[in-house]
Amino acid sequence: MANDRANTRVWLTLVALTITVAIAWTQSPGHFRGRLSIMPVNFASFATTSGSGEVTAELRGRELTVEVMFAGLSSPATRADVRKAEKGQRGAVAFTLDIGTATATAGTFDDKVTLTDTQVVELRQERYYLQIQTEGNPNGEIRGWFLVRE
């Protein structure tokens, strides 16, 4: 019986420690950076895809502040999505950023979004990327993964 109590205390201590570390990990500020480059959707779009840029982001609690700079697009930008996928893969839209008036072939924009707890963990695991769509490439012209930069 004493052994059972000791095991229970050890188990509860480990659970409490795990929860504490997880909360601290999701609440601590995080910095992210990504290089935006072309990733043609198919061979047909390869010839019409151009551009580059950079995305930086800061996570405070669950609020993600994103800053984007891009240039050299083949046609004006129409939208910017943050998508979820493993590196090098295409993924579904997680949320859309407000590009404001940055609807040219070069520009900057910034936006803030509130993430869920799950999205915070996935962001820290580098499972999100930014994709900019254009008039000529509505399925995506440039993209780059949010990489941890602590």
Distance from the first to the final alpha carbon of the chain: 47
Q: Hunting for tokens 């499972």 — which residue is that? A: 127
Stronger pLDDT, 6 or 23, i.e. the higher one: 6
- What is the distance between the alpha carbons of residues 36 and 114, in angstroms, rounded to a whole number? 22
- Asked if the model's pLDDT at residue 27 lies above 60, the reply is no
pLDDT at 148 over 60: yes
The rounded percent of the chain whose pLDDT value lies above 90 is 67
- 5: which DSSP letter? H
pLDDT per residue over 50-109, tens digit each?
A: 999 999 999 999 999 999 999 999 999 999 999 999 998 999 999 999 999 888 999 999
Domains in the chain: ranges and CATH: 29-148 (2.60.40)
